Amino acid sequence: MNQIEARTTVYTDGACLGNPGPGGWAWAVPGGRWRSGAAARTTNQRMEISAALDAAHTLDGPLEVVSDSTYVVNCFRDGWWERWLARGWTGAAKQKVANQDLWEPLVELYRTAPGRLRFRWVKGHGADPFNDLVDRLAVAAATSQRGGEGVHPPASGSVGPADAPSSRPVPARPVAAWPVPARPVPARPAGRGAALGDGTGATLRSARDADVEAVLRLWQVAGARPGVTDDAASVRLLMARDPMALIVAEVAGAEADGGEAHGGEADGGGAAGGGAAGGGAAGTGEMVGSLVAGFDGWRAGLHRLVVHPRWRRRGLGLALVAEAERRLVAQGAKRAGATVVLEDAYALAFWEAAGYTRQAGTRRHVKDLE
């Protein structure tokens, strides 16, 4: 009788001081080997992938890779890699997949030995001692810019500090009464939006006064976290200050009635498909998505990314983000930020898939637009 080869559990993590900046990665087998490495200028996402890739290359036999990176885990759990391959290593927004040079060899290892690699998510900075250990090893490698390895993992307390979130709040800057004048955003051709990933047509456009109640209903139906500005007066004030800030997605006619339930996605995630901006009159269809993109001349921020539950996992969230980025770049923005709920693994995965990286010690995810 053939014996089933035991599966080895390996914890992986990456760290970056500055993002981009000096980085480090590490992996460790409970009660067994460990290894770490460093890079002079890199990103946190690259270090997370590097840790998993090195572990998969170095260790023999079936592996359970345990990571606190939804970027790594969800690539395989949700099949992102299959869509990347089908689209020639481009994402839902038709952009080149970030970190392809690292993803390709890891995906190849996953494909060529079916069942050998499994991925499991663990909450970072939680109660798992081995997640804490590889966190400390990665931070130590990033700080010293030297890797290391051994046959038995060191004790967490002997390695150095972890990359723990800061508990000190950052003082808020006062917001100017009115934004600085923005450069005009080039107009998109009017008409129907391009089909999304599953054939659903959608139009992305700026919200109008007649859309306000529909937007508020969308936020309620989608389960968006309520805030003090979730009222018609506040939404109209936003639109008066910046008519381009509130972007909405609308589907019309039969398309609005044909959605299916797509659960498990936070504030408009989903990794398949793309979208296009278009004209479309307010009230001619169903409001299925929204995103606020604000720029005050210094900082650009994305807020209230919401997708109707029946239209999730079709690429609509990524299409909204791509349209917001286009508008922000046209206004002169160089970086955009989004505040993400750290406890929501789906939201974290979505923003990482959109190219945003978490700033160390904060809930803010950022992306350079130039």
Q: Where are the beta strands (DSSP E) in 8-165?
A: 8-16, 21-28, 34-42, 63-67, 117-121, 148-150
Which strands, in side-by-side order, build the sheet including 285-295?
203-206, 246-252, 285-295, 300-307, 335-339, 364-368, 357-358
3-state secondary structure of 203: strand
**Orientation angle between helical segments 212-221 and 232-241, nearest 10 degrees:** 120
- Distance of alpha carbon 34 from alpha carbon 351, whole angstroms: 30
Sorted by sequence, the CB contacts under 8 Å of residue 70 that are 6+ apart come out as: 121, 345, 346, 348, 349, 352
163 is catalytic: no
The C-alpha atoms of residue 298 and residue 234 are separated, in whole angstroms, by 23
Residue among 37, 48, 132, 301 flagged as catalytic: 48
Which of 13, 78, 132, 352 is an active site residue?
13
48 a catalytic residue: yes
Q: For this structure, is 211 an active site residue?
A: no
d(Cα 49, Cα 42) in Å, to the nearest integer? 12
* 135 a catalytic residue: yes
Annotated catalytic residue: which of 24, 37, 68, 269?
A: 68
Q: Which of 21, 104, 125, 337 is flagged as catalytic? A: 125
Burial of residue 88 (CB within 10 Å: 0-12, 13-18, 19+) is: exposed
- Per-residue tokens: 294: 């604000």
The set of catalytic residues is 13-14, 48, 68, 125, 135
